[in-house]
Amino acid sequence: MLSAKKFVIIVPITPFGEIILYRGKRGWELPGGSIEEGETPEEAATRELFEECGIRVSKDELIFIGTLRDREGEGYIFSLLIDRNISLNERARAFRKLPMNDLAYPIHETLALVNAAITKILPRRGDVRGGPKKSKNSGDR
């Protein structure tokens, strides 16, 4: 019996609520891919994020969202808040609105992953509409 394929999906989010997608062969998609032999899900996520978007992060920056089982195998879903100036490679782009007609996977699947990530990440870090909230003590009144 063959073992189920294991894969990762990463939902990178900017402080302004933009979602980072990359242009694959099938259209715009969330970064992710197969977990290679001997690799942890976190290692696969950091590798895939760099390969597909040009973003280097440490495993500690990833936030585990959950697992996903489908006909292809078992997936580990991660997200992270990209809260610094980043340079994306030529295949990646930050979207304020998802390109609904040019997504690689069905919109309901993509939106479910994005929603789970935003719900878990943004309440901790600031308001999606205006970026990170300023501290009352920051002197920026």
The reply to whether 130 falls in a domain is no
Dihedral sign from CA coordinates of 38, 40, 43, 45: positive
The reply to whether 43 falls in a domain is yes
Are β-strands 27-29 and 19-24 bridged in parallel, bridged antiparallel, or unpaired? antiparallel
The count of structural domains within the chain is: 1
The reply to whether 73 falls in a domain is yes
The reply to whether 105 falls in a domain is yes
- The model's pLDDT over 39-54, given as tens digits with 9 standing for 90+, comes to 999 999 999 999 999 9
| Whole-number percent of the chain with pLDDT over 90 | 50
Higher pLDDT, 126 or 44: 44
Per-residue pLDDT at 135 exceeds 70: no
CATH number at residue 117: 3.90.79.10
The reply to whether 29 falls in a domain is yes
Structural domain span for residue 47: 5-125
The reply to whether 136 falls in a domain is no
- Phi, psi dihedrals of residue 9, rounded to the nearest 5°: -130, 135
> What's the predicted TM-score (pTM) here?
0.80
The reply to whether 132 falls in a domain is no
What span, in angstroms and rounded, lies between the C-alpha atoms of 56 and 62?
11
